Structure 1
Amino acid sequence: MKEIIKAVSIEISEVLERVNEKEVVKLHDMITSANRIFIAGTGRSGLIGKVFGMRLMHNGFNVFIVGETTTPSIGKGDMLLLVSGSGNTATLVNFAMKANEVGANLALVTTNPKSKIGELADCIVNIPAATKKRSPEEPKTIQPLGSQFDQSAHLLLDALIVYNMKINKDKDNNQLKSRHANLE
C-alpha cells in the first residue's frame, strides 16, 4: 500500500509542476474581481468544484454552486468557473454559452484548453493530467479514469486559496474558521 500511495503522490506532484503559474494567478485575479462566483462541474470534477466553492466561501467570497436550489441568476460582473477534464461536457458547454450571453466572465480548469468551453473561456488553467481517455500525450498513471486530473485540480485550487490568504494578510485560519459551518 505504501508504494501505491507514494506513486500517486509522485504522479500528482509531477502534474502540478507542469501547470503554468500565470494561468493560476489570472484565475485568482478573475475571482477576486468578480461580484459573485458561480461554480459547476459534473461527476468527481463537480465535487472538486464544490470543495473549492466552500473554501472560497470560508475566505469571504460570494459563491454559488450551479444546480443548487438557492443559486440565483448569473449576470454581468459575475464569473462562472467550470471544472471539466474534457472541456466538452454538454451541460457545461451550455452553461458557458449562457455566461457569455449575459456578459459574465468564464474560467475553465481542464486538461483540454482547445475544447468547446476553452474556445469560449476568458481564462483557462490547463492541468496536464491523465483523463479517462488515456490519450498518448497524457502522462502515465496507475490511477483509474480521471482521478489524476481531479486530485490535481483539488490541490491546485487549494493552493490558490493559500495564495489568496498570503497576499491578503488580513485572512488567517481563525477568520476562515469563523465562517465554517456551525450547524453540524
Structure 2
Amino acid sequence: MKTIQLILDEIQGVMTNVDEHSLEKLAAFLAKGKRIFVIGEGRSGLMAKSFAMRLMHLGANAFVVGETTTPSIEAEDILVAVSGSGKTKSAVWTAEKASSLGCEVVAITTAPNSELALHASFVVNVPAVTKYRTNDDVESIQPLGSLFDQSVHIILDVVCYLYSKITQADEDETFNRHSNLE
C-alpha cells in the first residue's frame, strides 16, 4: 500500500498544479469544433486514443490520426496533439500541417514553450516528468513517463466530463454509442 500511496501522491502533486480553468476552456473549445482529431505516439498515443473514444461516446465526431478510417482534416476541425516533450516529430509535423490547413491545434505537453506548443492555439501544461526527466520541479519514483501518462489520462477525463456537461450528453445515448461487439 505504501507504493500505491506514493504514486497517488505524485499524481495529486501534478493535478494541484494544473489550471482547471484551462480545462473548462478546452472543453468549451472542443464543443464548438466541427470534428476532433487526436495524435500521440507510444503511451501518449494510447492516452489520445482513449480520449477520442470517450469523445465519440459523448457524441463528438472524433478521429485518431493514422487510423485507416480517419478522414482528411479540414479547416474548422480541431487537432489535439499529446506529447510530453513537445518534440515528438509526428505530433509536431501533424500540428504544423493542421495549422496550415486552418485547423485549431491543442497541445497537451509538459513543455509549453516547445516546438509543438508553437504550432498550437491552445496549450494545456501538464507539470509532470517525462521519460526525458527534464522538469526539474517534479520528481517521480515511476519509470519513464508514467506520471505524465497518468496525469494526461485524468486531465482528459476531466475535459470529457466538462464536455458532457456543455453538450448535455444523455447517459442512454452515450451508452448506446459504446461498443456492443465485445
Aligned residue number for residue 174 of structure 2: 176
CA drift of 1:172 comes to 4.2
Q: How does 1:86-165 map to 2 (within 5 A)?
A: 86-135=85-134, 137-165=136-164
Aligned residue number for residue 62 of structure 2: 63
Cα 1:63–1:141 change in 2 (3 A) is: same
CA drift of 1:72 comes to 0.8
Amino acid at match of 2:110: T
Query: With structure 1 as the length reference, what TM-score do the two structures score?
Result: 0.94
| Contact persistence 2:59–2:169 (CA under 8 A) | no
SS of residue in 2 equivalent to 1:109: strand
Distance in 1 separating the partners of 2:135 and 2:71: 41
Amino acid at match of 1:6: Q
Q: Deviations over 1:111-145 (max 9, x none)?
A: 00100010110000001001112235241111000
| Contact persistence 1:26–1:123 (CA under 8 A) | no
> Identity over the aligned pairs, expressed in percent?
45
SS of residue in 2 equivalent to 1:50: helix
Distance in 1 separating the partners of 2:77 and 2:145: 29
Aligned residue number for residue 84 of structure 2: 85
CA drift of 1:40 comes to 0.4
Aligned residue number for residue 44 of structure 2: 45
Aligned residue number for residue 22 of structure 1: 21
Distance in 2 separating the partners of 1:84 and 1:136: 14
| Contact persistence 2:35–2:77 (CA under 8 A) | yes
| Contact persistence 2:106–2:123 (CA under 8 A) | yes
Cα 1:155–1:40 change in 2 (3 A) is: same
Aligned residue number for residue 11 of structure 2: 12
Root-mean-square deviation over aligned CA pairs? 1.2
CA drift of 1:160 comes to 1.2
Aligned residue number for residue 71 of structure 2: 72
SS of residue in 2 equivalent to 1:64: strand
| Contact persistence 2:44–2:82 (CA under 8 A) | yes
Distance in 2 separating the partners of 1:51 and 1:110: 17
Q: Deviations over 1:7-59 (max 9, x none)?
A: 11111011011001232122212211110000000000000000010000000
SS of residue in 2 equivalent to 1:30: helix
SS of residue in 2 equivalent to 1:34: coil
SS of residue in 1 equivalent to 2:73: coil
Query: With structure 2 as the length reference, what TM-score do the two structures score?
Result: 0.95
Cα 1:51–1:136 change in 2 (3 A) is: closer
Q: Give the gaps of 5 or more residues in structure 1.
A: none
